[in-house]
């Protein structure tokens, strides 16, 4: 019984006895290289997973500005022809404007301006305010238009404050927490459950007589000034 000879070409060789020079042949002749490549791939995957930015809700900002005007007692048609359409014609000249939508309802006009991505929203807000301020055809009994930048705030946490104290003491404590949160980088703090605060203004009758104004007129002026001084 004669002993058989091994077939031509060992590991990593083709049937003609030549070494294979492709990737499979290299790994067949150098098994450490395959293990090293697998280790590098695992490390790269772990590093990519560690650096992956993951959050529950994506961070985004709505690059829109709204212009709202109150005209009490006016019909929707009067609001559209007297406020909405003239304001739209002025606001079309604002730079980087992508889209503008409007709505007119009885006593209310609303215009929303959407801007192109990458627009400096601060400059856009200044341009919109300038166009609105230069609008001289506003009806006499209509309130001044209110311009605001629509910002999305992501809810971070809820804080419950309770105790045997009265509402005034709880309000003071809530305001203290508000200042601390704002100082630590929170953009906005909203309150729920607290009664709205009111400011009482007393005008002596002699002062009213000297000014030639009634309490109703004083109230209208205070309301108009308060709306003008609101942020946004």
Q: Which residues contact 79 (CB under 8 A, 6 or more apart)?
A: 69, 71, 104, 105, 106, 107, 108, 109
Q: What is the band of 153 on the pLDDT scale with cuts at 50, 70, 90? A: low
Per-residue tokens: 5 = 């000879």
With a cut of 50, say whether residue 9 has pLDDT above it.
no
Q: Which residues contact 71 (CB under 8 A, 6 or more apart)?
A: 78, 79, 82, 83, 107, 108, 109, 139, 141, 142, 143
CATH of 64-150, one of 3.30.70.1430, 3.40.50.300, 3.40.50.1000, 3.30.499.10: 3.30.70.1430
Average pLDDT over the chain reads: 79
Per-residue tokens: 49 = 């997973």
**Residues of the chain with pLDDT > 70: what percent?**
82
Predicted pLDDT at 130: 92
Place of tokens 């500005």: 65
The residue count of the chain comes to 232
């Amino acid at each position: 019984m004669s002993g058989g000879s091994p077939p031509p070409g060992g590991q990593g060789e083709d049937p003609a006895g030549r070494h294979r020079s492709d990737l499979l042949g290299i790994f067949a002749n150098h098994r450490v290289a395959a293990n090293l490549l697998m280790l590098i791939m695992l490390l790269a995957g772990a590093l990519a997973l560690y650096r992956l930015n993951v959050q529950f809700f994506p961070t985004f900002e709505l690059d829109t500005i709204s212009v709202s005007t109150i005209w009490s007692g006016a019909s929707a048609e009067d609001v559209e022809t007297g406020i909405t359409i003239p304001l739209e014609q002025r606001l079309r000249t604002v730079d980087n404007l992508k889209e503008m939508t409007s709505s007119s309802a009885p006593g209310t006009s609303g215009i929303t301006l959407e801007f192109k991505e990458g627009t400096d929203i601060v400059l856009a807000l200044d341009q919109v305010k300038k166009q609105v301020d230069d609008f001289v055809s506003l009806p006499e009994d209509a309130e001044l238009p209110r311009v605001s930048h629509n910002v999305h705030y992501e809810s971070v946490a809820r804080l419950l404050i309770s105790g045997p104290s009265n509402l005034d003491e709880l309000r003071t404590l809530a305001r203290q927490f508000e200042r601390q949160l704002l100082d630590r980088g929170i953009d906005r703090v909203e309150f729920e459950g607290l009664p709205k605060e009111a400011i009482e203004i007393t005008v002596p009758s002699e002062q009213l007589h000297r000014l030639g104004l009634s309490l109703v007129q004083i109230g209208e002026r205070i309301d108009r000034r308060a709306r003008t001084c609101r942020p946004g």
